[in-house]
Amino acid sequence: MIRSPLHVCRERKIDTGAAVVAVTLSLLLPSLLLLGGVCARASATAWLEAYRPVVYLQSGTTDADAKALADELSGWASVHGATVRDPADAYASLVDRIGEDRVGDLGLSPDLMPTSIVVEPAMPVAGHIDLTSRITALQIRQEVESVSVPTSSAMNVLSLSGVVLTLAAILALTALLAGGIVSFDYLRRMREVEGEMNALAVLFGAYPSEVRRPTLVRGMVVGAACGVACTLLLVGALVAWRWEAAGVLGIAATIPATAWPLAAAPLLVGPIWGLVVGWLAAGRRTESRWLEVSHA
């Protein structure tokens, strides 16, 4: 070929831009759902693993009664251990969480803090639903004033993430097929634009691989461009997740280590996918037709 395989892409800027946008979206939409499901599951799991239910006791509860209840809770199959926390420790924990200035503004002191029992789940995630209901039922006990258990937000997010991951897998197949059809049609039209030049190249003895090569190059370049655009958008989505997820989900945002390779995957998938579509678009049927035209 005398001119660059990308020359026709520059000549047909609108067609090229439309194909890049369509393929980028076909990669982006399932990737966003996949990343969202992975990050939501990781955030909900980390939140539940870090959460410890607390049983607050009445002010008149003796140390012996508190220890007896802690021993009873430790005997539950879903509880790894239960620790009695005195008012001083509760005050120190509150200061660590919200800061000494904030505690001072609230007018709290160690004397105002209740004795409590901190429960450590034996199965932090899987056993939380059953454990939460059992600890909530402790409020009917005379020595128990109130309980603090996980809200339903993290559990709902954990359940929803499985649905999102399934939907992402289904959408990925559909979107890749749609993007493949769009890019296949684009590459075939670009090849038709060069039809006369390819027929001339065949007439002068060009090898079939030389005639097909420009389409392969265009497919790989378009796929690489879409992969770069998709990765940049996914990285931006991860940054937005870190800042906005807490307000949306009600739990702290967590970005697992697997999220970054997933965000970078289009950099590899894009060129390979474009090369495969280019190979399909550079079929032998069109090549045979050029041979017939050139020898007519």
Pairing type for strands 54-57 and 79-85 reads unpaired
pLDDT score of 291: 44
Single-letter amino acid code for the residue at 47: W
Q: What is the mean pLDDT of residues 168-192?
A: 84
Half-sphere exposure of 270 (CA within 13 A, CB side): 28
pLDDT for 252: 66
The predicted structure's pLDDT at residue 230: 92
Residue pLDDT, tens place only, 77-136: 888 889 898 888 877 877 777 777 776 777 777 777 888 899 988 876 656 667 888 888
Give the residue from 165, 187, 150 showing the smallest Cα distance to 19. Answer: 187
Continuous segment of H or E residues that includes residue 148: strand 144-148
Q: What single DSSP character describes residue 115?
A: P
Distance of CA 261 to the CA centre of its chain: 11
Q: Which residue has the tokens 């590459």?
A: 187
Percentage of residues in the chain having pLDDT higher than 70: 82
Contact at 8 Å (CB) between 219 and 278?
Answer: yes
**Cα 35 → chain centroid:** 2
Alpha-carbon gap, residue 38 to 58, rounded angstroms: 42
The helix/strand/coil state of 233 is helix
Residue 54 one-letter amino acid: V
Q: Give the span between the Cα atoms of 152 and 167, in whole angstroms.
A: 23
Inter-residue contact 47 to 253 (CB < 8 Å): no
* Architecture per CATH, 52-149: 2-Layer Sandwich (3.30)
Residues 6 or more apart whose CB falls under 8 angstroms from that of 34 comprise 165, 168, 169, 172, 262
- What ranges do the domains of the chain cover? 7-46+155-294, 52-149
Whether residue 117 contacts residue 73, with contact meaning beta carbons closer than 8 Å, is answered with yes
d(CA 18, CA 16): 5
Q: How far apart are CA 47 and CA 269, in angstroms?
A: 33
In tens, the pLDDT along 21-69 reads 888 888 888 888 888 888 888 887 877 777 888 898 888 788 888 899 9
pTM: 0.67
Token pair belonging to 285? 């049927």
Q: Is the dihedral of CA 211, 215, 217, 218 positive or negative?
A: positive
Other C-beta atoms closer than 10 Å to the C-beta of 289 total 12
User: Which value, in Å, is the radius of gyration of the alpha carbons in the chain?
Assistant: 31
Mean pLDDT is lowest, of 15-24, 137-146, 153-162, 281-290, for 281-290
- Collapsing DSSP to helix, strand or coil, 117 comes out as strand
From 24-38, 130-144, 193-207, the region with the lowest mean pLDDT: 193-207
Write down the H helix ranges in the chain: 7-11, 13-50, 63-74, 87-98, 100-105, 128-136, 152-193, 195-203, 208-249, 259-281, 284-294
| pLDDT at position 296 over 60 | no
